[in-house]
Amino acid sequence: MVIETPLQPPAPHSEPSGRLTVVYDAGCGLCRETVRRLARWDREDRMEFVPLTAAASSGRPALEQLAAGDRFRESMHVVDESTGRVSSGGQAALALLEALPGGWLLRPWTALPPAGPVADTVYRVASRHRDRLAWLMGLRDEVPCPLHSRGPQESPTRRNG
């Protein structure tokens, strides 16, 4: 499930006002690769990356509150601690797009009503197939994501018959 939960009411689809904290699954090869690429693209140092396991004991109220939630491990989260805005799944991807160089070019598209549901759907499909996406990205030696791992019979590198 994809959620967007403000700790304090933000303006919808507002430009991030401060540094964004990306909370991700460090045990997932695709997640680590995504973080590596985001860090490379983040030329203005607008993002900080915190593994899911470190968020609960970070000493930061917004991250600890997020970690206490029941859907915490279901997706990537983006927290803007200056506004209290927490975005998850597809909404988190949209928040990251706005923070990256050139993101302003996409802002009109992300403000359209179908942008959120479309981003959520794409995120859900991608998260269900993380192992296959990692394989397609050349991360064949990475450990599959433990949250969405598949049995050997469903592995994209093994075919039955």
For residue 31, the surrounding DSSP H or E stretch is: helix 29-41
45 in the Ramachandran plot: left (φ > 0), alpha (ψ -120 to 50) or beta?
left
The percentage of residues in the chain with a pLDDT greater than 90, rounded to a whole number, is: 32
User: Domain residues for 114?
Assistant: 4-130
Residue 113 located in a structural domain: yes
| pTM over cut 0.75 | no
Q: For the chain, how many structural domains are there in total?
A: 1
The tokens of 6 are what?
Answer: 């403000």
Q: 145 in a domain, yes or no?
A: no
pLDDT digits (tens, 9 = 90+) for 68-105: 887 777 889 999 989 989 999 999 999 998 888 888 78
Whether 141 is covered by a domain: the verdict is: no
- CA dist list (Å): 32 to 13, 138, 144: 26, 13, 11
Q: Is position 12 within any domain?
A: yes
* Tokens found for residue 26: 């460090």
Q: Mean pLDDT over residues 115-134, rounded?
A: 87
